[in-house]
Every structure is written in C-alpha cells, then in structure tokens.
Structure 1
Amino acid sequence: MAQTSSIEIQQHINKTVWASFQKAYEARDADALNAIYATHVIRVTPNGIDTKDKFKRKNIESFKASKESKTEIKLDFWFDSRHTNEDTSYEVGFYKIGLTTNGKNQYIYGQFHIVLKKIEGVWKVTQDWDTTTINGHKISEEDFSKKEPLKF
C-alpha cells in the first residue's frame, strides 16, 4: 500500500474541510459550519475555554443575527505552518473577516491554531484556538498581508 504524503493529505483537507468552512462561514450557514467540527471540540478564545460546544450554539445565533442585519461576511485565511500525518493535522494560520453592513466595512484579523482528526474516515476539527492579539500586539492588515489568502 502506497503511503500518502502530508502534502497530498493537506490538499485533501483543503478540499474537504477548508473550502467547505469558508463557504459555510460566508453563507452564514451555521449547520454546515458546525458539521465540520467533531462531536466534542475544545474551543479556546481570549474569552476562555469551551468544552461543552457552546460555540456551536453561538454560531447559530450570530449567523442568524448577521442575516437579519443583512451583514455580508467575507473570510480569507492562509497557513503559516501545517504538520500532518495519516490521521491528525495541526494547522496554524492567519485570518481576515470582512463584515459589510449598510455599506460600512469592518475587518477583524486573527491567528488560529486548529487540530483536525480523521474520524470514521472524515476530517473533523477537534480543537480550535484563535486570538486577535499576539504578545499584546493587535493583529492587523499588515500582519495578514504577509501572505496571499488561499483560493479554493
């Protein structure tokens, strides 16, 4: 049996996880976004640690609110590093979220650390950590623009 390279696995993850993640996020489709996550996830933000999947309910609420306010969302991201084997991938990158409401634009920048596990043959997010600051420095357009966002 031929061994699959980590690059081939990452390309598969890009197609099956990250393209779907971006599409669901931009469409404000909380059900599709939440389906990308495992049944039990460790979610860490500057607000604390969530091991009870509260973030999935918040996804539903916030996407509903953004639809009601007619807020458009654009998500761009790129990877700073990825370490992958046959059943686990640790991925670090930067994101930019563009929000447009009533013609006004707002941008949120951050860094993420994601752990994906292959569960019953399907790649799922099992750990999701992100922040908008690094060492007290607010992540900015300058930080994000160091690399080109991924295109799917």
Structure 2
Amino acid sequence: MGENREVATATSLRGLNHDVWEPFRSAYGRLDAAGFMAVHGPDLIRAEGAAKRVRGRAEYATEIAEWFARVAASGDSLGIAFRFLERLADGDAASERGIYRIDAVRAGAPKVFYGRFHVFCRRIDGRWRIVVDYDDEEGATEEVFASGAAMDDVTAFSE
C-alpha cells in the first residue's frame, strides 16, 4: 500500500471512530436511543443471523427505543466494546468486521455477551453512517474478541 493510501485509510478510520464507533458506544451506555440511531443512515438495512430476520431503520429504531426503556426502567445497565478483525475504507465507503462485547448488569448480576458484526458505512452529508448492519453470535468468544484490534489501532489496517 502506498504512503498516501495508508494516510487516507488511517484518516478514514479515525473519521469512522469519531462519527460512528465513539457515539455508538456512548449512546449505548447512556441508553440513548436517539443518539444510538443517529449513527445509522436513513435507509439502514439491519440483519440478524441468529434471529434470521432483516428489517429497516424504522422497525429497528422502535425496537431499540423499547429495549433501552426496559433496561432503564429495571435499573439495569449496558456497556459495549468493539474489537476489529477487518477495516476497509476508501473515500466515502467502508466495510468493517469485528467482535463486540456487551457488559450488562441485570438484576444486580454482571453478564457478558459476545457477537460478531459486519457493517457497511457511507459518508452522508459529510459524516460516516452505518447503512448496513449484520449481527450474529456464531463463533463470538472472549478469545476472538481479544484477538481483534482495538478501535484506536488504525495502523493495524492502514499499513
């Protein structure tokens, strides 16, 4: 990869972190459904492998708002962390694959959940947004999570 290409990729990945992953993580932890949906594009396609379903933005937004409200009402909490296995970015399009870890406190007891994600992002009105989001749990473990690159390690994918 040429030096200019490496710089462009690193710049795009930092932009993705700023526009998508940092606000995603923050809104998730605050149970802020509006903030969470703000990182998703207007024509979002959301697919869940384990549930064997695909839906659009409106249905997903309703489901997230209801889920966050239930979590808040019960006094539970959520946190999410990401590790990346692949990050491809070129101009105004990106594809990112990785593992997420959800740290939940439910009824006072900590629980950890893992899942795999593959998102496609586009720059919309100058900001990165998730336009396709695929989730699955298959093969998602602590070991795979630990093997992924940290969000801030953009050099792992730009050299």
The answer, yes or no, to whether TM exceeds 0.5 is: yes
The number of aligned residues is: 146
Change (3 A) 1:99 1:16: same
> In the alignment, is the contact (CA less than 8 A) between 2:25 and 2:80 conserved in 1?
yes
State the 1:145 CA deviation: 2.1
Aligned counterpart, 1:9: 12
Q: Distance in 2 between matches of 1:27 and 1:10?
A: 24
- Paired letter, 2:142: E
Secondary structure of 1:79's counterpart equals strand
Instruction: Structure 2: state its 5+ residue gaps.
Output: 153-159
> In the alignment, is the contact (CA less than 8 A) between 2:19 and 2:129 conserved in 1?
no
State the 1:51 CA deviation: 3.0
- The correspondence for 2:134, drawn from 117, 124, 129, is 129
Q: Distance in 1 between matches of 2:35 and 2:19?
A: 12
Q: Distance in 1 between matches of 2:147 and 2:17?
A: 20
- The correspondence for 2:40, drawn from 19, 25, 37, is 37
Aligned counterpart, 1:90: 95
- The correspondence for 2:28, drawn from 16, 25, 30, is 25
Secondary structure of 1:5's counterpart equals helix
- Paired letter, 1:57: T
- Paired letter, 1:50: R
Q: Distance in 2 between matches of 1:70 and 1:150?
A: 29
> In the alignment, is the contact (CA less than 8 A) between 2:15 and 2:128 conserved in 1?
no
Q: Distance in 1 between matches of 2:151 and 2:90?
A: 21
Change (3 A) 1:74 1:52: closer
Secondary structure of 2:91's counterpart equals coil
CA RMSD, Structure 1 to Structure 2 (Å)? 1.8
Aligned counterpart, 1:73: 78
Aligned counterpart, 2:146: 145
Q: Distance in 1 between matches of 2:57 and 2:9?
A: 31
Q: Distance in 2 between matches of 1:119 and 1:147?
A: 28
Q: Is 2:124 aligned against 1:114?
A: no
What is the percentage of aligned positions where both structures have the same residue?
A: 24
- Which deviations, in whole Å up to 9, do the C-alpha atoms of 1:80-113 show, x marking residues without a partner? 1111111001000100001102320111101100
Structure ranking higher in helix proportion: 2
Larger RCO (alpha carbons 8 Å, 6+ apart): 2
Aligned counterpart, 2:155: none
Q: Distance in 1 between matches of 2:11 and 2:92?
A: 13
- Which deviations, in whole Å up to 9, do the C-alpha atoms of 1:51-76 show, x marking residues without a partner? 35311111100000000011111111
Q: Distance in 2 between matches of 1:52 and 1:28?
A: 18
